[in-house]
Amino acid sequence: MSGVNFAIAETGGIVLCTNEGNGDLGATHPPIHIASMGIEKLVPGLDELAVFTRLLARSATGQPITAYTSHFNKPAPGREMHIVIVDNGRSKILGEPKFRKSLQCIRCGACLNTCPVYRRSGGHSYGYPIPGPIGSVLAPHRDMKEYKSLPYASTLCGSCTQVCPVKINLHEQLLDWRKEIVKAGKLPIIKRLMMWGMGGVLLRPKVYRFSGKWGGKLLGIIPGFILKNRLNPWTKGREMPVFAKKSFSEMYKIRKNGR
């Protein structure tokens, strides 16, 4: 069994892009080759394929082309080849204007490599086969209740959108998913209260400056057992960061006055 990176409507063939020989070995050695592909993997012809194969390799690893770009157009003599075309909710995504561009993904991984959240947490923390920003966009389509936290695993910095070779507006879709999750009533009450509190701070400059100045100092003197206990599972595998002694605003004033 194999996946499919691209399927070519012009020839009826499929393309596998790999950097090891395992893909070719797995697809040619057994008597039956079953290739499973999503409907969004179709490209019109070989001219378009040439563009996408170079986009994929350069955005994934910086190579001009992958070590193996294998074309399968028909089974070898005496063998069988079957192509399974999967919808599995893709038509529904195509019908949603806010999210349809996510189907343009070529799975290069550029958004993962640039995402500050993914770089710190790793793929397993997402609990979904496709991690990172693109996974956080796709997962709620499968089950909004189970994956309601993933769109919030983002700083919305926009770096994923900036590096995406196929121009998916990932950070905007993550923000749209947050709105959809709130509208559907799937956001936990604790997170709603936290968002309400953060909104109150961020909308008031004086409160924000006061919090920035004293928040870190207060956390620095709180005994560890108050923060690290069974009621606060966040600290089970984490350490509180060391806060800067002076805020950016304070340092800016000092340097401005000194100059």
Domains of the chain: 6-86 (3.40.50.10420), 106-187 (no CATH), 190-258 (no CATH)
CB 181 within 8 A of CB 148: yes
Question: In terms of Cα–Cα distance, which of 100, 194, 185, 104 is closest to 144?
Answer: 185
List Cα–Cα distances, 26 to 22, 76, 80, in angstroms: 6, 14, 13
Percent of the chain surpassing pLDDT 70: 99
| 110 — pLDDT class (breaks 50, 70, 90) | very high
pLDDT at 233: 75
* H/E element, 216: helix 205-221
CB 53 within 8 A of CB 10: no
Residue-averaged pLDDT of the chain: 90
pLDDT at 242: 76
pLDDT at 190: 83
Question: In terms of Cα–Cα distance, which of 153, 170, 152 is closest to 161?
Answer: 170
* H/E element, 22: helix 22-28
Q: What is the pTM of this model?
A: 0.79
* Confidence check: pLDDT of 139 > 80: yes
* H/E element, 62: none
Question: In terms of Cα–Cα distance, which of 212, 213, 240 is closest to 224?
Answer: 240
> Alpha-carbon distance 77 to 140, whole Å?
43
Hey, CA dihedral for 209, 210, 211, 212, is it positive or negative? positive
- pLDDT tens digits, one per residue of 48-69: 999 999 999 999 989 888 889 9
pLDDT at 259: 64
* Confidence check: pLDDT of 207 > 80: yes
List Cα–Cα distances, 4 to 108, 150, 187, 225, in angstroms: 13, 26, 36, 52
* Confidence check: pLDDT of 44 > 70: yes
pLDDT at 58: 94
- pLDDT tens digits, one per residue of 234-248: 777 777 777 777 778
Amino acid type, 201: V
List Cα–Cα distances, 139 to 145, 170, 171, in angstroms: 10, 13, 15
